[in-house]
Amino acid sequence: MNIPKFAPELTFDYNVFFIVASIFLAAFVSYKSYPIIIRVSRLKRLMAKPEHRSVHKTETPNLGGIGIFLGVITVLTFLGAVFNYNNLLCLIGALVVLFFTGLKDDLVNITPKQKLLGQTIAALCVIAITDLRIESFHGLFGIEALPYMVSVVFSLFVFIIVINAFNLIDGVDGLAGSIGITASLLFGIYFYVNNNDSLLIISLSLVGALSSFLFFNFSKKYKIFMGDTGSMVLGFLMAYQGISFIKINGMVESSMDISNAPLFILALFSFPLMDTLRVFIIRIHKGRSPFSADKNHIHHDLLSLGFKHWQIALTASLFSLFMVFLSFQYNTFGANMAFMLLFLTCLSFFALINFSKKAKGVLKKTFNHKPKKTKPSLPLQLRGFLNAFF
């Protein structure tokens, strides 16, 4: 039996109707599904209840991932059948595995190990059957081609990291969805230029589904969260597009070549990846599980600075675009130096937010302090600032 391998279709005669259909069909299906999902969630009390780390105060439906999944899967199924894209069959199967893993977690909660198992099965299906994997670092860290098994293991690691990174940043309205739309639009442009029609359909269908989701996510009357169902499907499709981008960029047939594809992906996903690395370090330093919940995410810091949810989402999206721009500028210094400069830039941005949060806290305590007789001495105030910052 011949197993279809991953290969971009480079002979597609682009039809504007089908390109537009990808995004609008996904948006239409998602948009029509959300009122039903919200109504059922309220009737059956399938709601996310506020807890100590929640930024919302009322019970809210959290099955928005169903609408995202339905929008994307409808496009992949129908257009995939029309154009006979074999690589989409395995992707659909992997998404189904992730969908039910996330849905079970949203409904009854499952352990991190069970979620990790579902993510691993979905990723390995795509890696083993379609041979979609990172085969080279393109000179980053002095590494070129990877041995097969190393490539498989590393690609699996990338899938799991990106899935959980998007799962972890889904803490305020619009954040994960906005970054997903930004990244998918950039991927879509690249796939369009390189005539990768099946991948273009994936990108545009995700943009359409996420656009409808954000409409309800920002709504006050019909608000809904994407939940683990949506964030894991989103993270998986982000990883799928990212690895596809790296694979295609290394091919001779590529019409648009980017000098260091891995660096581009690191820049594009820098916000969720750096936030995940940051909270993992904080949790491990405190002797807790890296998967335990807390309020140490960067979006919590931005909330404490007075940012609204839509402002946080916009900031993250613009930051991702800025990091992509810098990745092209830094490429002139070589792969390793460019990576260090990107890392330091991202670290400086996160440190500035954390510094601002602590400074605001110190100033608030200082101005709210009402001494009984005498004011604190200037050295004592300075010591308070230093303690807060360091």
pLDDT at 12: 47
Sorting pLDDT into bands at 50, 70 and 90, what band is 248?
A: confident
Residue 195 Rama label (left phi>0; alpha psi -120 to 50; beta):
left
Residue 362 three-state SS: helix
For the chain, give me the number of helices (H) and strands (E)? Answer: 14, 2
Average pLDDT, the chain: 84
Number of Cβ within a 10 Å radius of residue 143: 13
What are the tens digits of pLDDT across the range 132-146? 999 988 878 888 889
What are the tens digits of pLDDT across the range 39-48? 999 998 888 7
The model's pTM: 0.86
Q: Which range is most confident: 108-112, 297-301, 345-349? A: 345-349
- For the cut 50, the answer to whether the pLDDT of residue 10 exceeds it is no
What are the tens digits of pLDDT across the range 351-390? 899 888 877 766 666 666 555 555 444 455 444 443 443 4
pLDDT at 325: 94
Residue whose C-alpha is closest to residue 65's, from 180, 185, 195: 180
Query: Parallel, antiparallel, or unpaired: how do β-strands 60-61 and 47-48 relate?
Result: antiparallel
Half-sphere exposure of 334 (CA within 13 A, CB side): 5
Of the given ranges (26-30, 83-87, 122-126), which has the lowest mean pLDDT? 83-87
207 burial via Cβ count (<10 Å: 0-12, 13-18, 19+): buried
pLDDT at 254: 55
| Cβ atoms of 220 and 310 closer than 8 Å | no
pLDDT at 139: 79
- Please count the residues of the chain: 390
pLDDT at 84: 67
- What percent of the chain has pLDDT above 70? 84
Structure tokens at 329: 């500028």
Residues 119-127: what's their mean pLDDT?
95
| Cβ atoms of 125 and 97 closer than 8 Å | yes
pLDDT at 8: 45
**How far is residue 4's CA from residue 261's CA, in Å, rounded to a whole number?**
25
What are the tens digits of pLDDT across the range 153-181? 999 999 999 999 999 998 899 999 999 99
Q: Which helix (H) or strand (E) holds 385?
A: helix 378-389
